[in-house]
Amino acid sequence: MLRKIKIISLMGLLLLASTQMMQGQVLLSLIFGDKLNSGKVEFGMNGGFNLSYIRGIQESKGQNNWELGFYFDILLKDKSPWYLATGVYIKSNVGGRNIPLDFAGNRVINDSVYNGFVNAKGRVEKKFNTFYVPLNLRYLSKSGFFIEGGAQIGLVFKTHDVYGAEVNDNDLTYEVTKGVRNNGLYKWFDGGIDGGIGYKSKGALGWKLGVWYYVGLTNIYKNDLGPKAYNSSMYVLATIPIGKKKAEKARAEKAAAAAAND
């Protein structure tokens, strides 16, 4: 029980620290990695590619992003193939591009600036800086292939409306960036369902490679007034455990010492 309390406490510290400074994630992972790994809990980092788009806005196109985060795979029962797969996508922007200037869900900007983009046949790109937490049930086969599904919840902490156009072979941009508390237009919460498939190696390292798909079910706009639009995203991720070997070695040494004392 004490160990579980320590793990939960460290998970909280990692999440709190990650919301303050993403750069500290690597350092915290290296420091606490072996503490967060046990016989039933695997902790590590994930990273890869994220293709996001916004459903409900005609003509909009996908947006390419990078993803970085950490994960916890929690075995639900000894010798069981079932796991609780969770963690935090720390660098996980979502949004879409090629949105028409006259779309009702764009931020209002100065008329002269707006008319300039109209004359230049400009478009709008929306970006949402979001922390996502997947909560999935995973089935891991003996061959190493897995499938999982569940929910994904997100905290939107910054929003961007980027007006763009090409004028005389030069890129013209005008960006409106707001924090979650004063953005006036978008919700701070994003949630939906997700699922994934992949493969986990059987070697000592135990890396994973997989594809996950998220379907947002929360309208990105406040009070559900006016347009309705939803974030969606596809992730192609690789994961690697941190501190797993060190934790396994420590458990083996402890078991050997206990056996010697008997």
> What band does 111 get if pLDDT is binned at 50, 70 and 90?
very high
**Average pLDDT of span 168-180:** 87
pLDDT of residue 18: 45
User: Is 256 a residue whose pLDDT tops 80?
Assistant: no
User: Could you give the CA distance from residue 217 to residue 194 in angstroms, rounded to a whole number?
Assistant: 11
Q: What average pLDDT does range 131-158 have in this prediction?
A: 96
Instruction: Tell me the two tokens of residue 81.
Output: 């193939």
**Mean predicted lDDT score pLDDT of the chain:** 83
- The CA distance from 135 to 183, in Å, is 28
Pick from 190, 202, 203: nearest CA to 233? 190
Q: Which amino acid is at 119?
A: N
* Total count of residues recorded for the chain: 262
Percentage of residues in the chain with pLDDT exceeding 90? 61
pLDDT in tens, 21-34: 444 444 444 445 44
The 3-state DSSP class for residue 237 equals: strand
Work out the average pLDDT over 82-105.
Answer: 94
Query: End-to-end alpha-carbon separation of the chain, Å?
Result: 24
Asked which of 20-34, 54-68, 134-148 is least confident by mean pLDDT, the reply is 20-34
Residue 218 is part of which domain span? 2-261
Report how many domains make up the chain.
Answer: 1
Distance separating alpha carbons of residues 141 and 239, to the nearest angstrom:
18
The CATH number linked to 88 is 2.40.160.20
pTM of the model: 0.80
